[in-house]
Structure 1
Amino acid sequence: MKPPLRVSVFLDYACPFCYIGSARLLRLEDRYDLRVNWAYIELHPETPPAGQAPGEPGYAPEQLSVIDESLAALAAADALPLVTRSRVPNTRLALRLAEAAKEQGREPFYRLHRTLFHAHFADGRDIGDAHVLRAIVAACDLPDDLPDRAWGVNPALDARFARYRAFAAAAGTRSVPTYVFGPQILIGVQSLETLYDAAQTLTTSAATDP
């Protein structure tokens, strides 16, 4: 039997480092019974519904160039497809959709989780667009009414997002991805080796606790 491993991750589907970080974290499933609490944080809630150009959040062109080169190298190292970003989407609808999909079970949720990342970073689709998201729901074989439940009045969903914000404040993090391995907090995209080390430290500590 694989040892259980519970990890919390703060993320946003518009974050390319979360795209890479999610793929790396899920590789820990080869050694652990991995259970992830995906805690959604809207990184740029001020983004207009139609999205905006990558430079608008405050990056100079030379900074964007360096970031894009770093991202390309990271994605290539993990064999992840990555297209040039033309727009930064508003991810509020995508995040609420993913949170609602958790109620469908582990496998349906992960179909959507992976597809949202792939749609944006590999296919260049606008995951801020409701029509695109409904098409993704259909492709993932999820209930047709899931978007309506996610985007309509939903106090339970609102409460879960409020808990994520409180959790992030308590953990002292304002950036994504952030990984919480018990008392250990890792900020930013991490190497696979670092993730394995954090997992080993956590599971060893749990095994030796009285």
Structure 2
Amino acid sequence: MNPPCGRCNKPVYPTEKLNCLDKYWHKGCFSCEVCKMALSMNNYKGFDKKPYCTMHYPKTSFTIVADTPENLRLKQQSMLNSQALYKEDFEKNKGKGFSVVADTPEMQRLKKTQDQISNIKYHEEFEKSKVRSDAPPPENRQDSSDPDSHAPAAPPGGRKRFQAMYSYVGADSDEVSLQEGDILLDVEPIDEGWVFGVNQRTGQRGMLPANYIRPL
């Protein structure tokens, strides 16, 4: 069924059909609402779903734009871009003063997320430093009355059982982490200050500091 013309309401056939302003028009009916000048797709101006020529286009202080899906998408994209620019500007100017910016719900959510991430990282670093601090530095553990106290203690040769005296967090993937009291199996010296062994509790195999363990 052929749709009616937006001007004369008569059927519009495919050979003479124009689709514009959410209506169908005869080519001859597509004219200015005021002066009736014939218009084309290149020179018309739409207002309230009616065509006008440039001369008679209604003068308004603002243009009403329908909230179409495309306009809503552009509006949302513009908002996201503004937030991204704000964050980038904030990072660049951190410590150089500040600009007053509206505290929107979205910015509050971003700020809360960043604070949570910062707190998690702080607690992770704190726990790592706490474990390392449980073991006093080797130079502070030596008995000053012993003339050989400054020489690192290496376990006897052969494979024996040892026990961890202090906690230790392996700095590399080939190092074994320890907790005070852990039992070490198949311990054998590697070089001055380091041995190779297996942590019975975790099953981890690798290098560990010789002055953190003692023979059983």
TM bucket normalised to smaller: under 0.3
Larger Rg: 2
Whose helix fraction is larger, Structure 1's or Structure 2's? 1
Whose strand fraction is larger, Structure 1's or Structure 2's? 2
Greater relative contact order, per chain length (Cα 8 Å cut-off, separation 6+):
1
| Structure-2-length-normalised TM-score | 0.16
| Structure-1-length-normalised TM-score | 0.16
